[in-house]
Amino acid sequence: MKADQSGIRISRRQTLRLIAVTAAGGAFLTPEARAAEDTPFAGASLLMPGAGICSITPEVTEGPFYFDPELERQDITEGREGVPLTVRLQAVDSQCRPLVRARVDIWHCDAKGTYSGYPGQGDSRDIDTTGQKYLRGIQHADEQGIVSFKTIYPGWYRGRTTHIHFKVFPDDSSVMVGQLFFPDDLSEHLFTTVVPYKDRPQKRDMFNKDDGIARQAGPMSQAALRETPSAYEALIVIAMNTG
């Protein structure tokens, strides 16, 4: 395992050189530069460094696999194997001001494409995960509107590109539902070279450009990826209308 992890680190450095840009295809616009522009986004200087610009995040479908496990926690892995991933989301309003104490839920499939809590999972639809709660959790945002989850890089399942679901509750009466997407080049590298992703006999059948939900979500729902000594880090600013 140690040898494998060392090999992953070398390869992923090479891969990340290709994807250290926003999904719109350009270099990151720093929060300082964004705030200096003649725009209404007066709160842009409060954004996470490297997370891209502030723009209203499109809402998309919740999907069929949501339930509230009532687990406020940072580490949602519950022992699932996979490449370590830290997901940092910053919830802000339309003026890029942090949504302090907003509740943020995330949930996603494991390396082999199964969600916790449902029957009929897996490539053969014969895996029952009823009663399990892995790769799910909630947090309340800090003073910068930021939450940080420790998880694994999500796998794939038939008909969908790689993604993480999220919900943001700025208050008790409103919610925004979205999905977070990943660069296809990085996903393909991991799925074909790293266990347990590469152990599946099936090949994934959907990429970002062909996924209708990814196309609906658009470039502002693409994660900004960077490498830390122990894991990948996925960053995204979730801006929503709250008025």
Q: Return the CATH number of 2-239, one of 2.60.130.10, 3.30.565.10, 3.40.50.300, 3.40.1550.10.
A: 2.60.130.10
Rg for the chain, CA atoms, rounded: 17
Cα–Cα distance between 122 and 118 in angstroms, integer?
11
Q: Residue 187 is which amino acid?
A: S
Q: What is the pTM for the complete model shown? A: 0.82
pLDDT, one tens digit per residue, over 175-219 is 999 999 999 999 999 999 999 999 998 999 999 999 999 999 999
Cα–Cα distance between 133 and 117 in angstroms, integer?
6
Contacts of 178 (CB under 8 A, 6+ apart): 57, 58, 59, 60, 165, 166, 167, 168, 217, 221, 238
**What per-residue confidence (pLDDT) applies to 50?**
62
Boundaries of every domain in the chain: 2-239
**What per-residue confidence (pLDDT) applies to 53?**
65
Which phi and psi angles does 8 have, rounded to 5°? Answer: -60, -40
**What per-residue confidence (pLDDT) applies to 241?**
87
Average pLDDT in the 6-24 region? Answer: 39
Contacts of 98 (CB under 8 A, 6+ apart): 43, 46, 90, 91, 92, 141, 143, 144, 145, 146
Cα–Cα distance between 225 and 228 in angstroms, integer?
10
Q: Identify whether the C-beta of residue 44 lies closer than 8 Å to the C-beta of residue 31.
A: yes
Average pLDDT in the 90-99 region? Answer: 92
Cα–Cα distance between 136 and 118 in angstroms, integer?
13
Q: What number of residues does the chain have?
A: 243
pLDDT, one tens digit per residue, over 20-78 is 333 333 333 333 433 344 333 344 445 676 666 678 899 999 999 999 999 999 999 99
- Which residues does residue 142 pair with via DSSP β-bridges, in sequence order? none
CA distance to 6, 13, 43, 70, per residue, from 2 (Å): 6, 17, 43, 35
Which has the higher per-residue pLDDT, 135 or 30? 135
pLDDT, one tens digit per residue, over 103-127 is 999 999 999 999 999 999 998 899 9
Is the per-residue pLDDT at 159 higher than 80?
A: yes
Q: Identify whether the C-beta of residue 31 lies closer than 8 Å to the C-beta of residue 45.
A: yes
Q: Residue 148 is which amino acid?
A: S
**What per-residue confidence (pLDDT) applies to 157?**
95
